[in-house]
Amino acid sequence: MRSINRVSPSATGRLPLTVVAGLFLGFLAFQATAKNIGEPKLKSSSVLIVDQSDSSVLYSRNPDVAAPIASITKLMTALVVLDAKQPLDEPIQITDADRDLSKSSFSRLTVGTTLTRGDLMHLALMSSENRAAHALGNNYPGGMPAMVAAMNAKAKTLGMRNAHFVDPTGLSSQNVASPEDLSKLVIAASKNPTIREYSTDRNYAVRVHKHLVEFRNTDRLVANPTWNIIVQKTGYIAEAGKCLVMAAVIEGRSVVIVLLGRRRPARQDLDGKRLLPPLSSRDPLRLECPRASRSLRLKIRRASGRGQSAGRYFNPENGHPPFNPCNSQYHPN
């Protein structure tokens, strides 16, 4: 895969605010090479955005650096359980072993609650329910050790070279992977209809003892009508920060988005929202390049008004340099 833009971790804190729109426009709309257009306004420490149609990298930031992935782990948990072809209608009881996790985490699934394996997977993927994910591991053939071994074997099969798992919940900071690893996991998960359905469901109710308890999706973007999300998973522990992965279709184009390590503000979906305009826009005017010349913007606007492609201004075959709207060739000092 070819990386369009890669920025070192030390550089991210001092670059000017720009959006990734120019990169996508240059790559997607004009089919030219876009380089050095600056940083999108993302707070995530690691980012990878891949066009699934040709596996090309649209944007990357620390794509090969492994880090804690928190509840993104649960996508692997679901894959391994489904690979084992365990019946989803089999009842499973939440036990004391599912309560005594490595870190304190709130759960409305009290000890003694009995749900089907499918219900537990649904809650683990949609609402990031830790006891549900732990119960899936405890009831895997061979128990938790076999479950963890299967998760690491699956990672190796998928080519996740920097990934390592020690538990099915993601509460352990030893569950690590790079954005490149997670892009492969997301693509694999997106091919499974059960994971697609469960992870993108907005809400789901189950009976906990005598009460019907409703759970909601931890990803606010699934309720946003401007997003067509195929599969998604959120995650958070202190060591990982806020994490979000998804496969989505934007303007008819399938993309995989990996966002890791957002520290503040708390909502990781804010980074996701910032990606929608540049990914969906075909208009080069959606750039935050303060030096872009007024004459160039006017030419593009006039071309768009006549139904013409603005790509002719950036086509190397027509004698123009590759598309880079912040390049001095396109504007005066």
Average pLDDT over residues 277-281: 50
Given 74, 184, 233, 242, the catalytic residue: 74
SS3 137: helix
Q: Can you give the length of the chain in residues?
A: 333
Cα 333 versus chain centre, distance? 38
| Helix axes 117-126 and 193-200, enclosed angle (nearest 10) | 60
Asked whether residue 296 carries a pLDDT value surpassing 70, the answer given is no
Range scoring the smallest mean pLDDT among 124-138, 146-160, 161-175, 312-326:
312-326
Average pLDDT over residues 14-37: 32
Give the pLDDT score at 307: 45
pLDDT tens readout for residues 36-59: 223 566 778 899 999 998 888 888
Q: How confident is residue 102, by pLDDT bands cut at 50, 70 and 90?
A: low
Average pLDDT over residues 283-302: 43
Q: Is the pLDDT of residue 122 over 60?
A: yes
Domain assignment of residue 206, yes or no: yes
Q: Residue 293 domain-assigned?
A: no
Residue 52 resides in a domain: no
The contacts of residue 264 (CB under 8 Å, 6+ apart) are 43
- Rounded distance, CA 331 to CA 290, Å? 10
* In contact, 271 and 265? CB cutoff 8 Å: no
Residue 192 included in any domain: yes
When divided into structural domains, the chain yields a total of 1
Mean residue pLDDT of the chain comes to: 76
Residues 107 and 128 sit within 8 Å (Cβ to Cβ): no
The one catalytic residue among 44, 46, 71, 190:
71
Q: So what's the pLDDT on residue 73?
A: 98
User: 208: Cβ–Cβ under 8 A, 6 or more apart, which residues?
Assistant: 108, 109, 110, 113
Q: Active-site residue 71, yes or no?
A: yes
Domain that holds residue 229: 67-246
Residues 6 or more apart from 52 whose CB is under 8 A from it?
187, 247, 254, 255, 256
Q: Which two tokens stand for residue 197?
A: 């359905």
pTM: 0.72
Axis crossing angle, helix 130-138 with helix 73-83, rounded to the nearest 10: 30
What CATH number should be reported for the domain holding residue 146? 3.40.710.10
pLDDT tens for each residue of 138-150: 999 999 999 999 9
272 belongs to a structural domain = no
Q: Cα(first)–Cα(last) distance of the chain, in Å?
A: 35
pLDDT at 103: 58
- 308, part of any domain: no
Choose between 35 and 108: higher pLDDT: 108
- Whole-angstrom Cα distance, residue 199 to residue 233? 7
Does a structural domain hold residue 260? no
Residue 239, in any domain of the structure:
yes
74 in active site: yes
User: Active-site residue among 60, 107, 127, 128?
Assistant: 128
- Model confidence pLDDT, tens digit, residues 171-223: 999 999 999 999 999 999 999 999 999 999 999 999 999 999 999 999 988 98
User: Which of 180-184, 220-224, 225-229, 310-314 is predicted with the least confidence, judged by mean pLDDT?
Assistant: 310-314
